[in-house]
Amino acid sequence: MFGVGPEELMLVLIVALLVLGPERLPRIARDVGRVVGELRRTSDEFREEFLNADKYLEKAASAPAPAAQPAPAVTLAPTPSDPNESAFDREMREARERLAASREKPAT
C-alpha cells in the first residue's frame, strides 16, 4: 500500500493516537473511511462511463442514417454576448441555445 510496510503503518497510527487522542481518533477514522469510500465509488462510476463510452459511439456509428430530409432551419435569436466572455463560455451559451431550440421544435 503506497510502499508503506506494517511497521510504518503502526508508527503512523501511534502518532495519530498521541496527537488526536482516543476521543477523536475513531471519529476521524470513520470520516476518512467515508471520504475514501465516496472517492472510490466516484472513481468507479467515472471509469465505467469512460469504458462504456466507446459502446455508445459504436451504436451511434452503426445505426442507419435517417432518410435524407432537409432539416428545418433553426434561427436563434441573437443573444448579446459579454465582451469579457471567453471562447468556452460563448460555446457553452450557444450549445444551451441550440438545446433549447431543439426542445421547442415539435416532434415529428
Q: What is the pLDDT of residues 3-16, one digit of tens each?
A: 888 899 899 889 98
Is residue 19 domain-shared with residue 54, that is, in the same domain?
A: yes
Residue 65 pLDDT > 90, yes or no? no
Contacts 24+ apart (CB under 8 A), 71-79: 72/105, 74/98, 74/101, 74/102, 74/105, 76/101
105, part of any domain: yes
pTM of the model: 0.43
Structural domain count of the chain: 2
Residue 53 belongs to domain spanning: 7-63
C-alpha cell read off for 24 = 477523536
Residue 43 and residue 84 in one domain:
no
Write out pLDDT tens, residues 20-31.
888 998 898 899
* Same domain flag for 59 and 78: no
Residues 89-100, mean pLDDT to the nearest whole number: 85
